Structure 1
Amino acid sequence: MADDTHGRLVDVELDESIGRTTPDIEHERNVAIFDLIEENRFDPEGAPEGGRFRLKLSIADRRLVFDIRDEAGEHLVTHILSLTPFRKVIKDYFMICDSYYEAIRSSTPQQIEAIDMGRRGIHNDGSETLMERLKGKIAVDKDTARRLFTLICALQRRA
């Protein structure tokens, strides 16, 4: 059900100049982009209510760059965030993801479930950090923040 009072992303692009990573991470990235486009809340401060936006995520000079454009592709605003507040949670997320992908290949369902619960917890921590860092710049809901955090991790892994 569409909510015309909230803005939404209609396109998300990752900076491809930093290369590709493992098939597992690429799959997670593609799923996150698909899910994000399907359902999201994305309200840049000062943008028209119910706007439709294009987002390009990149990393420049060890900073996270949100290049936001309108649906037609006209530049609206660029937000640059320090990656420092994300470093520990991203490092922990990478470690548990590596464990999770290995467990899928060789562990019992109970072990996989336990690792996945930890992975989701760390993922929630990262998305909460993102929501805090975007406060006053871009309003997002929890699911949108989770999917954006997945994409930030994909960028970091490739950078």
Structure 2
Amino acid sequence: MTDKAQKPSTRLIAVTLDEASIGHSTPDIEHERATAIWDLVEDNAFFPCGDPGTGPYALHISLMDNRLVFDIKREAGEQVVQHHLSLTPFRKVVKDYFLVCESYYAAIRTASPSQIEAIDMGRRGLHNEGSELLRERLKDKVEVDFDTARRLFTLVCALHWKG
């Protein structure tokens, strides 16, 4: 990522998830989503490729016709670009990530600390894999650093959390 990504004009200042895409869920899941959005807005590097860099940007994430939609606007609401990404490449890593997360949450109640740590390492590894996949899918569309990709991948997963 270039030095440009460190400027206030090349970052996200707002992120929303489409309510119709996520449906109803438990208060715990809602809290997880809110935390993920807060973390992303607090620390990110985000720059739509080809844009003159007149951000900051607002991002609305939704699912439409089996596609992940990144709707990017300027702070004042002016449309910048909308990217549609196929969900197919994400299916396996998201499915595996959720399976490991279920194991992790079950292990917290009964497993030894070393077992929990091993499961958590697997969970983080899958999260990293999904983050790199997202960066690759956004290549030539939106520049993001690895930490921003991790936070965005968390939100991609949040669209699938049904509680």
TM-score by length of 1: 0.91
- Aligned pair partner of 1:134 in 135, 138, 147: 138
Is contact 1:8-1:50 (8 Å) kept?
no
The TM-score with structure 2 as length reference comes to 0.89
- Share of identical aligned residues, percent? 64
Show the counterpart of 1:4.
7
Question: Is the 8 Å Cα contact of residues 93 and 119 (structure 1) preserved in structure 2?
Answer: yes
Other-structure match for 2:55: 51
Whether 2:19 is the aligned partner of 1:36: answer no
SS of alignment partner, residue 54 of structure 1: strand
Q: Deviations along 1:103-125, whole A, 9 cap, x unmatched?
A: 22222222211111000000000
Please say if 1:125 is aligned against 2:129: yes
- Give how far 1:44 is off: 0.3
Structure 2 residue aligned with 1:13: 16
* Count, aligned residues: 157
Corresponding residue of 1:116: 120
Which amino acid in structure 2 is aligned with residue 4 of structure 1? K
Unaligned runs of 5+ in 1: none
Q: 83, 86, 102: which one pairs with 1:82?
A: 86
Distance 1:50 1:24 in 2: 36
Q: Is the 8 A contact 1:13 1:55 kept in 2?
A: yes
Structure 2 segments unaligned to the other structure (5+ residues): none
Instruction: Say which is worse superposed, 146-155 or 23-32, in terms of deviation.
Output: 23-32
In the other structure, the counterpart of 2:100 is: 96
Q: Could you list the per-position Cα deviations for residues 28-75 of structure 1 after superposition, in whole angstroms to 9, with x for gaps in the alignment?
A: 322211111011000001223362000000001110000000001111
Residue identity in the other structure for 1:15? D
Tell me the C-alpha RMSD between the 2 structures: 1.7
- Specify the code of the residue in structure 2 equivalent to 1:115: I
After superposition, the C-alpha distances for 1:60-91 in whole angstroms (9 at most, x for unaligned) are 11100000000011111100000011010000
